[in-house]
Amino acid sequence: MSIDMWLSPIISQRLSELEHVFLGCANATAEESTDWLLVAYRVLAQSQQLQTIELPDSADFLALVAVGGLESATLSLLPAAAGYMVSRGPSGATIASVILPGVSMESTAEGDGVTLALLGALFAAILSSTEARMMPATGKGLNSPISTSRGH
């Protein structure tokens, strides 16, 4: 039995949306950061059954986005107890890592700028923690294309 057959259609759709944002952020350009940030907020708001991230008030979030505070808006999506790190190499590649509360693995993503890299890492972490919670029930992972490494 495949994982898709086991999951309810709604949960399967939400997982697909989470993965879509993860992959979209990895392939987007910096000019698309605002669009992906707004998509990310919507997907997180609709995926509360898969994760427990407390989202900022939508008016406050949109106000940050409207004034160009994309990095601040992105950080507002992270749980207060989450760990994160952002790095930019000499070639200009931006890499971010996120560790969600209660999870021992960090998830890492690369993006064209801080916003996309951090969003990618957040969505990778959500997908990874969701897979870890579902694995005991199914005996199978979700086979998501996420990069994870042991947290310290």
- Contact (Cβ atoms closer than 8 angstroms) between residue 97 and residue 106: yes
In tens digits, what is the pLDDT along the chain, a chain of 152 residues?
A: 344 445 577 777 888 899 999 999 999 999 999 999 999 999 999 887 667 788 999 999 999 999 999 999 999 999 999 999 999 988 888 999 999 998 888 999 999 999 999 999 999 999 988 876 665 544 444 444 444 443 33
Q: Is 141 helix (H, G, I), strand (E, B) or coil?
A: coil
Q: Is the pTM of this model over 0.85?
A: no
